[in-house]
Homo-oligomer: A and B are copies of this chain.
C-alpha cells in the first residue's frame, strides 16, 4: 500500500472526474450482444468487475493483497439499473465511486456512459473483507493505511455524488 503514490493518484482521479474524463473504458464486443441486437444485460456486471479491479489497483489495492495479507473482498450483492441500451462497438466509460464504507463493508457505485455522455447503466456492488480462513476482517484494525485511503475515496465520492 504505497500511501504517497496512491494519494497523488486520488487527486488525479478526482480531477479527471471533474473534467469528465473517465478512467476505465470497455468496448462492447460482438460476442456480448444478443438476438435483440443489443448488449446482453448480464455483461454490465462483468464490466463493473473490470472497472473495480482497475480502480482498486490504481489506489494501491492489488490482488497482491490476497497473497500478502490474505485479504479478499468478495461481492455480497450486485445490482444494475439499465437506462439505455448499448451495442457492438460502443465504447462505455465507467466511473467508480464509493457509496458506503465502514471498515467492514464497502459499497461501490458505478456510472456507465456511452460516447454521447448519456448514462447507460447505474450499478452497485457490496463487498465484505475476508481473511484466508474466511473470517470477517475489520480493515481499520488490520490495514490502517488502506482504511485511510478508503476513507479519503469515500469522502471524495460523497462530495462528487452530492454535487450532481
**A contacts, CB < 8 Å to B:** 29-31, 33-38, 40-43, 45-46, 49-50, 53, 63, 72, 74-82, 87-89
Contact = CB atoms under 8 A, between A and B. Distances in A.
Contact of A30 (B35, B43, B80, B88): B35
Most buried by B among A36, A43, A45, A89: A45
Contacts of A74: 36, 82
A24 to B, nearest CB: 11
Majority secondary structure of chain A interface residues (helix, strand, loop or mixed): mixed
Contacts of A79: 77-80
Given A31-B49, A45-B41, A53-B30, A76 B81 contact: yes
Copies of the protein in its oligomer = 4
Nearest to A82: B76
Contacts of A45: 41-42, 45
A1 B99 CA distance: 45
A81 B87 contact: no
B42 A29 contact: no
A77 B82 contact: yes
Contact of A88 (B35, B42, B75, B77): B35
A140 to B, nearest CB: 24
